[in-house]
Amino acid sequence: MVELVVVLGLMLVLSAIGLPRLVTSMSVYKLNVATSSVQNLIEVARFNAVRRNSTISLRQTLVNGQAAFYVDLAGGAYVNTDPVYVVPTTVRVAPAGAPAAATTGLANTAALGGGCISFNSRGVVDYTTCGAGVQSVWFISLGLTNNNGGFRAITLTPMGQAKSWTAPAGGNWGTM
């Protein structure tokens, strides 16, 4: 009986040591999934623009009080038939403390202007619909609400190429 109590005690101590690391790993995993999901939704918007031979936009909005990105297929406000990604409550869009967009090393990088990215029928970024006609590399940054796990970002070049980035707190952006 004493041996069982000792084994259970050791298991509790080891679990208590490993639990914080497990929680942090799960949070970082959610951040990586959010980054990949937003990048995939950007590609969905681009492919829909080419497939429909029209201008299609990716927009940022709130869905039930949570930050979300959706592909505007109906040409207006979000409707439940639009492809959407609701950002988890543990992830923030454009978090405070994230490195500046310029540290990616890409020229003319700008934060997502007006919560909108448009693609024309050739799949390239259309700056007349979103961006006031100024060509730039769109930049969307994400971070955890508890500020652990660093930051992630997605850049989108004028030719429509999306790329994921990672950065530690206080560091510079590097490709994922």
- Residue 18 and residue 118: Cα distance in Å, rounded? 45
Tokens of 141: 């940054």
Pairing outcome for strands 66-72 and 84-86: antiparallel
- Residue 14 and residue 110: Cα distance in Å, rounded? 46
Give the residue among 63, 136, 134 at the shortest CA–CA distance from 106. Answer: 136
Tokens of 31: 């951040």
The pLDDT tens digits for 113-142 are 678 999 999 999 998 888 777 888 999 999
The pLDDT tens digits for 21-75 are 777 788 899 999 999 999 999 999 999 999 999 999 999 999 999 999 999 998 8
Please tell me the predicted confidence (pLDDT) of residue 149: 85
In the chain, count of helices (H) and strands (E)?
1, 10
Q: Which long-range contacts (CB under 8 A, 24 or more apart) does 74-82 make?
A: none
The pLDDT tens digits for 133-168 are 788 899 999 999 988 889 999 999 999 999 999 999
Domain boundaries, given as residue ranges, for the chain: 2-175
Beta-carbon neighbour count of residue 62 at 10 Å?
11
Q: pTM for the complete prediction? A: 0.88
- Residue 168 and residue 148: Cα distance in Å, rounded? 9
Provide the CATH number for the domain formed by 2-175 in this structure.
3.55.40.10
